């Protein structure tokens, strides 16, 4: 059921479809679709519907290190700046990012922009499903790339990302906590990992917070509900690192924690795909 959150902006972390609908004509607005697609773009794009003015954010391609061993690996600062500029991102842009599942891959894009020094970026609460539910206009093609390259200047924030060489120390530090966004069945090793050949397991001393627990259908749960969920963990004065399968849904946890004003947040870039491969 649709929840009226038209006044909810959460300091540029989350915006409602009502807000986006009312601000579509803002010249500084850049709308990005972050949906991860498993088939050829030329095939799937021909049958899709989009929010007007949408530009496609190629999370698995242009905005990942495609030569890395593991999926969705953080791109270099030069690559991110180049590709963001190619999408017309300027220093004064207002970015809203969405996906076709509601809230799934869009928080990864939000976290990437924050990691590369851009703060005026928000996730669309409920994404395309929520937009359609309110019967707002959709279009059958992406925005025509008639814009000029933007002037966005990337500034890397290394504290936002954790890599394999830091995880062992973090997992044994009493002042840190790793929260894993995978399902309880995956976290507990009751079902196989979806990536072929990847062993089941968990990072030592990590705890489980399935990202689905934070969602009410397509939207993020209320701030009060999120607070209750996070309060089930002993988080006082701890830094938080979020993990998942490949660094995508971990960013949903990061989004919620940021809304709740927790400090010292980071995402383990390689997540279980990397950790489970490099350890026994």
Task: Tell the burial category of 25 from Cβ atoms under 10 Å away from its Cβ (0-12, 13-18, 19+).
Answer: exposed
Q: What are the tokens at 177? A: 């906590």
3-class SS of residue 277: helix
- Give residues with Cβ within 8 angstroms of 14, minimum separation 6: 8, 122, 123, 125, 220, 255, 259
The answer as to whether 227 is a domain residue is yes
| SS3 label, residue 29 | strand
Question: Residue 260 falls within a domain, yes or no?
Answer: yes
How far apart CA 204 and CA 206 sit, in angstroms, is 6
pLDDT for residue 9 is more than 60: no
In which element (H, E) is residue 45 found? none
Q: Considering only CA atoms, which of 207, 179, 200, 142 is closest in space to residue 267? A: 179
Number of domains the chain contains: 2
* DSSP conformational letter for 33: E
Q: Is 138 inside a domain boundary? A: no
Q: 176, 219, 244, 251: which one is catalytic?
A: 244
What is the percent of the chain with per-residue pLDDT over 90, rounded to a whole number? 88
Last residue of a domain, one of 133, 166, 189: 133
Containing structural domain, residue 41: 14-133
User: Facing residues of 95 across strands?
Assistant: 30, 121
DSSP bridge pairs for 123? 14, 97
For the stretch 55-100, pLDDT in tens is 999 999 999 999 999 999 999 999 999 999 999 999 999 999 999 9
User: pLDDT digit string (tens) for 138-173?
Assistant: 999 888 777 899 999 999 999 999 999 999 999 999
Residue 143 lies in a domain: no
pTM over 0.85: yes
d(CA 126, CA 137): 16
What residues contact 170, with CB distance under 8 A and at least 6 apart?
162, 176, 178, 241
Residue 164 shares a structural domain with residue 105 = no
- The verdict on whether 251 is a catalytic residue reads no
pLDDT digits (tens, 9 = 90+) for 209-260: 999 999 999 999 999 999 999 999 999 899 999 999 999 999 999 999 999 9
Range with the poorest average pLDDT among 15-24, 31-40, 180-189: 31-40
**CATH number assigned to the domain comprising residue 116:** 3.40.250.10
């Amino acid at each position: 059921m649709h929840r009226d959150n038209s006044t909810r902006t959460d300091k540029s972390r989350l915006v409602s479809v009502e807000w986006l609908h009312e601000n579509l004509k803002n010249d500084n607005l850049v709308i990005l679709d972050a949906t991860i697609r498993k088939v050829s773009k030329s095939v799937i794009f021909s049958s899709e519907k989009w929010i007007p003015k949408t530009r496609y954010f190629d999370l698995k391609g242009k905005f990942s290190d495609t030569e890395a061993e593991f999926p969705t690996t953080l791109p270099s600062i030069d690559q991110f700046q180049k590709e963001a500029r190619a999408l017309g991102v300027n220093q004064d842009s207002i970015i809203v990012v969405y996906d076709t599942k509601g809230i799934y891959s869009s928080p990864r894009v939000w976290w990437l922009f924050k990691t590369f020094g851009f703060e005026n970026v928000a996730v669309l609460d409920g994404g395309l499903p929520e937009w359609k539910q309110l019967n707002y206009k959709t279009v059958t093609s992406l925005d025509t790339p008639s814009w000029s390259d933007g002037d966005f200047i990337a500034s890397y924030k290394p504290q936002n990302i954790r890599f394999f060489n830091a995880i062992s120390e973090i997992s044994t530090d009493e002042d840190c906590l790793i929260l894993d966004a995978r399902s309880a069945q995956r976290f507990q090793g009751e079902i196989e990992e979806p990536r072929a050949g990847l062993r089941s397991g968990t990072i030592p001393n990590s705890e489980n917070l399935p990202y689905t627990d934070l969602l009410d259908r397509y939207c993020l749960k209320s701030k009060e509900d999120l607070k209750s969920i996070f309060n089930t963990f002993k988080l006082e004065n701890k830094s938080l690192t979020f993990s998942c399968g490949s660094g995508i849904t971990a960013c949903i946890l990061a989004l919620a924690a940021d809304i709740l004003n927790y400090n010292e947040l980071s995402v383990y870039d390689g997540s279980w795909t990397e950790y489970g491969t490099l350890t026994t």
